[in-house]
Amino acid sequence: MGKVMNTISIVLYGDITCNSKAWLEWYDYSTRMISFLELSPNYIGISSESFDSGKLLQLKRAESRVKKVINEGERIMAMSIYSLPENFVQAAFDYDVYLGRKTIGIKNHVILTLNQELFPQLNIDKTIGEMKQHINFESGEVFEMMNIESPQFYATKVNPSSAYKSLKIVKVF
């Protein structure tokens, strides 16, 4: 396992529109958000009819293929954009920033998870407003958690909140 760090996540729940335009807008938003944080969006995870390996792909190598799949209207279930350090060990724990949009699992959601040190760069209300453009918003949370407990698992609600020792709910909206 790579570095252990405290993360902050913003997660919004609701229905997700699954057309090409909506997925392209998520892709563009995610890459812009990571760039805004002065990092490089460098890996992508995508779950669709033709992308189902579960492996992350280098964004530069996969970008044209991903955009082609989106533009051709292929059914996409999830897309995640990462900023990973150059010598990362395990993407699930070593990311600096992670943005995901998922229609698989118990709850559809969009999520932004970042290293706690980056959080002061965000205007939380503005960020929530921007994220609401990518989901038919029903509810949301801001929470802190150690990366080793996997904020993405918590966001999918597969386990009760009591299963996470480092979880601290900051805001519910």
Domain extents in the chain: 6-172
pLDDT(16) > 90: yes
The reported pLDDT for the residue numbered 70 is 94
Query: Pseudo-torsion of CA 138, 143, 147, 149, nearest 10°?
Result: -80
Instruction: Give the span between the Cα atoms of 35 and 48, in whole angstroms.
Output: 25
CB contact burial 35-72 (16+ within 10 A = b; e otherwise): eebebbbbbbbbbbeebeeeebbebeebeeebeebbee
Dump pLDDT digits (tens) for 117-139.
999 999 999 999 999 999 999 99
CA distances for 53 relative to 45, 50, 109, 165, angstroms: 9, 9, 21, 31
pLDDT value, residue 55: 87
β-sheet bridge partners, residue 142: 10, 171
Do 61 and 70 meet the contact criterion of CB atoms below 8 Å apart? no
pTM: 0.94
Report, as an integer, the average pLDDT of 26-33: 98
